[in-house]
Amino acid sequence: MSSNIPNSAKKVCAIAAGTLFSVLASSSFATEKGTEASALSKLVQDSKTQINFRYRYEGVDQTGFGEDANANTLRSRLSWTSGSVNNFSAKLEFDDVRAIGNDNFNSTANGNARYPVVADPEGTELNQAFIKYKNGGLTATLGRQRINLDDQRFVGGVGWRQNEQTYDALRFNYKTSVYSLDYSYVDNVNRIFGPNGSKANLKGDSHLINARLNLAEGHSLSAFNYLLDFNTAAAASSNTMGLRYVGQYKPLKIVASYARQSDAGDNPVHYDADYWLLDLSGKISSFSWRLGQETLGSDDGAKAFNTPLATLHKFQGFSDKFLGTPANGIEDRYIGFGTKISGLALKLSYHDFISAEGNNDLGTEWNASAAFTLNKNFKALLKYADYRADQYASDTQKIWLQLVYSL
């Protein structure tokens, strides 16, 4: 078993633990019965423990590989959240990922390169470990934590993979009914490829700034500036500044976003690239629909707009063929439909990919999913992706069966 806590994370956790114990040492209170109890007892007595199991089968048929990938994995999660004393609380969360049966897939860590990639390496990891201070609209969190900003297009937790992406960070959030301000300093990103190996961490000095203004009911405007400076991945260092508008014009919903990205830190390539999004969605009777276009631009093919901290599985198709933006950028034109039948949520979508520079056909993709919630403890999901390559990557079909049980 390895918790794989880098030195930077150890320092963050040590500071967090020291702060919490300082609070405990200086705190005492009276219970309803008038007897004194220690702050530690309060933290434990009001704590909450959760257990979650997520089994997934993922099959991949990819042109260029003689054998298909067949991955059966189980993620077991144990979470403990303390009670609150003087507005302070703490959380610990452990994840364990195991392959069930033969590991006939390339987990990115098991060396099985003859199979297509299913990026769910085995390991046991400290997924979250933080203390939190909450007082009114102010929340401050120190330690290893989950950070999801806006729709996770630029910063997210990659919750789809069995090993979640978390951040060793100091985060401040202030929220009112009119606006919210969010700032995080991040010195390490715990990636989905961990807990061990050279791909497990992105170390550096990064600043995540996000501010949202509620213009009116159903309308908001976000401004963001993400300053990424990585010691271990200089080519991914960048400054990204942009705006995001969400408007509800019943029954139509509009999401529009623009961002500008340039190189930062020791990035060996000097570039500037743009990002555009226009997403329309709505509902007609029991059917939902979605139509949009997302563009990650390029600087004349030298370097494209990239989003290394995003929850990438949410965007540009389930097959994950564009986890790294092609050098000439990408334009994703998509349309989707959904409905619910007897508790079964059905979705179908289509993507047409072309390069932002040159308008070359990259490929097309169909996605389908069926989700079912039996009760608050048990959920099931079936998904399918069919990517047909043109001038990028190779034909790929993927299928998933996922079962989640929570206590």
pLDDT value for 35 = 41
pLDDT band at 123 (very low <50, low <70, confident <90, very high): very high
Bridge partners for 203 per DSSP: 188
CB 38, CB 31: distance < 8 Å: no
So what's the pLDDT on residue 67?
A: 96
pLDDT digits (tens, 9 = 90+) for 334-392: 999 999 998 899 999 999 999 999 999 999 999 999 999 999 999 999 999 999 999 99
Kindly report, residue by residue over 50-109, the tens digit of the pLDDT.
999 999 999 999 999 999 999 999 999 999 999 999 999 999 999 999 999 988 999 999
Q: Give 36's pLDDT tier (boundaries 50, 70, 90).
A: very low
- Side-chain half-sphere CA neighbours of 407 within 13 A: 8
User: What string of DSSP letters covers 88-116?
Assistant: EEEEEEEEEEEE-S--BSB-SSS--TTS-
Return the pLDDT at 37: 55
DSSP state of 285: T
What pLDDT does residue 16 have? 58
pLDDT for residue 25 is more than 70: no
Q: Name the band, by pLDDT with cuts 50, 70 and 90, for residue 39.
A: confident
Rounded CA-CA distance 352/259 in Å is 22
CA dist 70 and 256 (Å) reads 38
Two tokens, residue 178: 């009119």
Could you tell me the two tokens for 80?
């403990």
pLDDT at 198: 86
Query: Structural domains in the chain?
Result: 7-406 (2.40.160.10)
pLDDT tens for 391-406 read 999 999 999 999 999 9
Give the model's pLDDT for residue 43.
81
The pLDDT assigned to 6 comes to 46
* pLDDT reading at 1 higher than 80: no
Q: pLDDT tens digits, residue range 307-325?
A: 999 999 999 999 999 999 9
Dist. CA 253–CA 219, nearest whole Å: 10
Specify the pLDDT at position 44. Answer: 83
In the Cβ-directed half-sphere of 281, how many Cα atoms lie within 13 Å?
14
The H or E element spanning position 239 is strand 238-249
Mean pLDDT of the residues in the chain? 92
- Please determine, for residue 30, whether its predicted confidence score (pLDDT) is greater than 60: no
pLDDT at residue 404 in the model: 98
Sign of the Cα pseudo-torsion (264, 190, 404, 71, in order) = positive
Own/partner long-range contacts of 63-69 (Cβ < 8 Å, ≥24 apart): 63/389, 63/394, 63/395, 63/396, 64/394, 65/114, 65/115, 65/116, 66/114, 67/104, 67/114, 67/115, 68/115, 68/116, 69/104, 69/105, 69/106, 69/115, 69/116, 69/117, 69/118
Q: Are strands 69-81 and 201-216 parallel, antiparallel or unpaired?
A: unpaired
Rounded average pLDDT over 263-290: 97
Please report which residue ranges of 27-111 form alpha helices under DSSP H.
Answer: 39-45
Burial classification of residue 182, based on how many CB atoms lie within 10 Å of its CB (0-12 exposed, 13-18 middle, 19 or more buried): buried
Q: What percent of the chain has pLDDT over 70?
A: 91
**This prediction's pTM:** 0.91
pLDDT digits (tens, 9 = 90+) for 47-67: 999 999 999 999 999 999 999
